[in-house]
Amino acid sequence: MENSDEWELLESGLTEDEVKEFLRIQLPKSLAYQTNRDFLCKECFENNKHKAKQQLRKCAEENCPVKYNCLICENKNIASISQKNVHNHTLLDVYNNENGLPEKIKKIINELLENNPKLYPRQIRCYLNNNRAKYDIENITLKNTQISGYVYRYKAKVAPRTNNVEDVENFLANNLYFPTIDPNTPFFFGFQTNEYRPVIGNGSPANHTYIYCTTLKLLQLNCDTSNQEQTLFHIDGTYKITLEGFQC
């Protein structure tokens, strides 16, 4: 393979998991540097136009010019991987690129989330730590960031981010007050509900959209009787509440 601007197809017709496995054992360690979903799918043979996920990766070896282009049709779970340029280092027959959490831990987390989708990453970490013997994972280090990263990616995969009203309502439903909530964990309130499910108005004068968010800690500070002179309930908001990475 010469250094050029051409992508050379390495594998096609794989599933997304098979691409991950390919990256893990067949290629030198690589890092994702860009993921987007604007690519028109040419992976499957569906007639209707739809978008595919494109992940660009680069070889993690210093100064190596190799890049990978992974195209994944999430509708049909068909994926391909292409390579650009040549590695500037020796290649091994087999690799063992541990990308993030060990498979064993991922399986446990998947099971936990299937049974209890509202679990927070730190609750999952506590559970794993408390059940090390049960799962035979005594010797595995559990990094906070790895667990939260994995949990958020898993949740995003199970519930794709489409940014519609229903998603916002689901988000609110997943972040409501409950009696044992952590004092610093935000919760939402103030909207209409229908059988306990949040219902968001359309924003018209007759159908306002009200979404409030606070924490117990903030309320405690505001209700502190020793500084009532300075107490001020503040209401602020933004209409750009999305699930696309903005913090609300």
Residue 87 interacts with Zn ion (CB under 5 A): yes or no: yes
Q: Which is nearer to Zn ion, 66 or 105 (CB)?
A: 66
Task: Give me the 21-40 binding string for Zn ion, x by CB under 5 A, dash otherwise.
Answer: -------x------------
The answer to whether the Cα torsion of 55, 56, 62, 64 is positive or negative is positive
| Stretch of residues binding Zn ion (CB under 5 A), selected from 43-51, 141-149, 150-158, 168-176 | 43-51
Stretch binding Zn ion (CB under 5 A), from 67-75, 95-103, 203-211, 213-221:
67-75
72 counts as binding Zn ion under rule CB under 5 A: no
Contact status: 128 vs Zn ion (CB under 5 A): no
Exposed / middle / buried, residue 155 (Cβ in 10 Å: 0-12, 13-18, 19+): middle
Which of 10, 19, 66, 108 is the binder for Zn ion (CB under 5 A)? 66
Q: Does 44 bind Zn ion (CB under 5 A)?
A: yes
Strands (E), the chain: 8-14, 30-40, 51-59, 67-73, 78-84, 187-189, 192-194, 197-199, 212-214
Q: List C-alpha distances in Å: 110 to 123, 144, 151, 154, 203.
A: 14, 16, 8, 8, 37
- Residues near Zn ion (CB under 5 A) are 28, 41, 43-44, 59, 61, 64, 66, 73, 75, 87
